Chain A
Amino acid sequence: MTEGKVSMIEAMVDVFGSAITGSEIQCGDQQVVHVEPSNNLEILTWLKNTEGHDYDLLLDVTAVDYGSVPGVEVVYQLWSITNKKLLRIKCPLPEDSLKIRSVADLWGSANWLEREVFDLFGVQFEGHPDLRRILMPKNYSEGHPLRKDFPLRGRFSREKQTELALKQDYEDYYSPEQLEGFGQRADD
């Protein structure tokens, strides 16, 4: 078992070299690999398509804001149904460059998951077909809530939040033409 995991890391380092910045085992049996964010799409494509790895189910895309260190770390949780293996990929993003390429073309589940990371953390996913807010209202102007510098009760006072909420046009919608225009498709 351990040999299989070690050889996967070795294989990854063979193919990607310095893009793999580290790996460890958390909690006894959870494989974690740290990668350079600029290579995330290539590494994830390799993990999905290579025989022997076959990470065909993208469980989760999320981000962590540590508070004590500036920036945000994007975390991917992958599972291979055929090989029954779990993998966590982490991509640290610096505060001044919260951009990373989208994997929505590889796995359909990444579509909404990345939208949520954009909404709550402000990370731009390049190549995402439809990058817009998902949980917060369409024109939410207080910022990106899950960042550590965002206070629990929001930036505006309650009176202002109530007033803005009731002024919302809840009948507003994205027309089909507008929906086409969000983000660019990877093949554009």
Chain B
Amino acid sequence: MGIKDRQNEQLPVAGNSELTFLTTKVDFVVNWARRNSLWPMPFGTACCAIEMMASAASNFDLARFGMERMSFSPRQADVLICAGRVPYKLAPVLRRTWDQMMQPKWCISMGACASSGGVFDTYSMVQGIDTIVPVDVYVPGCPPRPEGLIYGLMMIQEKIKSESMADHELLRREDPEGAGKPVADSSEVKALTGVFGNSTQQDKFSSLAQTARPGRFKDVLK
């Protein structure tokens, strides 16, 4: 689901779908079960991964949310927590891990680097994993405190609470042809990753290094 789709998609409305008394009760139970037993898949790369480990440890304790069983196999995981910066070399691995997860699945982009590239607007860094995988919750911070990650997980839980089996087709439809391909198309990638704000000022290296001077290296350091 890219930016364009979200503007035009048909959102589920009660009365339009097959909602009945029975399905809402079933929804209630299924959603309760799903959101209280999420198995996170920690795709931790850098500093945010350490905060994720800290939130799984005793002080902040993800176990009280039913999430202490960190599943390292994507086949058994529900939530992909992408914690840390993702370079282009790692991008296909992230995409493949997401493709290997089975429905229903959600994605949390933890930290500024996963959400938008963070401090690293450079040649090797993906400027936001939402160009590659569809993200449900963004947790900003550098790194976000464990409370921040827990709030993000609680938002996923809220999202699950509001889902309905009647909308299964809409929410869970996945195109097998899309496996391994970026989720955002070219123009969306351009819109999402363009240079903004103060970046243009920080684009110049040392003024003295820019002017060509004939001579030897030793002379530069005099």
Contacts and interface: CB of A to CB of B under 8 A. Distances in A.
Question: Per the CB under 8 Å rule, do A and B touch in the complex?
Answer: yes
Interface of A: 22, 26, 34, 64, 66-71, 73, 90, 92, 136-137, 142, 145, 148, 150-155, 157-159, 161-168, 170
B203 to A, nearest CB: 6
B92 A166 contact: yes
Given A165-B91, A165-B92, A166-B92, A68 B132 contact: no
Contacts of B217: 64, 66, 69, 71, 73, 90, 92
Interface stretch (B19-27, B38-46, B207-215): B207-215
A137 B187 CA distance: 25
Given A68-B213, A137-B89, A166-B180, A153 B121 contact: yes
A67 B123 contact: no
Given A34-B218, A158-B190, A68 B124 contact: no
Q: Top 6 A-B pairs ranked by shortest CB distance?
A: A154-B123, A67-B209, A165-B88, A158-B193, A165-B91, A159-B186
Interface of B: 88-89, 91-93, 95-96, 121-124, 126-127, 131-132, 180-182, 186-187, 189-190, 193-195, 203, 205-206, 208-221
B122 A162 contact: no
Contact of B218 (A22, A153, A159, A161): A22
B182 A69 contact: no
Nearest to A66: B220
A66 to B, nearest CB: 5
Contacts of B88: 137, 161-162, 164-165
5 contacts: A158-B189, A158-B193, A159-B190, A167-B92, A168-B89
Given A67-B205, A158-B190, A166 B132 contact: yes
A90 B216 CA distance: 12
A153 B190 CA distance: 13
B206 A67 contact: yes
A107 to B, nearest CB: 24
B122 A153 contact: yes
Nearest to B195: A153
Given A67-B209, A68-B210, 6 more contacts: A26-B221, A68-B209, A145-B123, A157-B190, A158-B127, A158-B189
B122 A152 contact: yes
Nearest to B190: A159
B178 to A, nearest CB: 11
A168 B92 contact: yes
Contacts of B206: 67
Given A66-B220, A67-B210, A69-B213, A162 B91 contact: yes
Contacts of A162: 88, 91, 126, 131-132, 182, 189, 193
A136 B132 CA distance: 19
Given A92-B216, A165-B92, A150 B205 contact: no
A152 B216 CA distance: 25
B46 to A, nearest CB: 15
B125 to A, nearest CB: 9
Contacts of B181: 166
B145 to A, nearest CB: 30
B92 A170 contact: yes
A152 B121 contact: yes
A152 B193 contact: no
A165 B126 contact: yes
Contacts of A148: 205, 209
Contacts of A69: 212-217, 219-220
A181 B50 CA distance: 39
Given A148-B205, A165-B89, A68 B220 contact: yes
Contacts of A92: 216-217
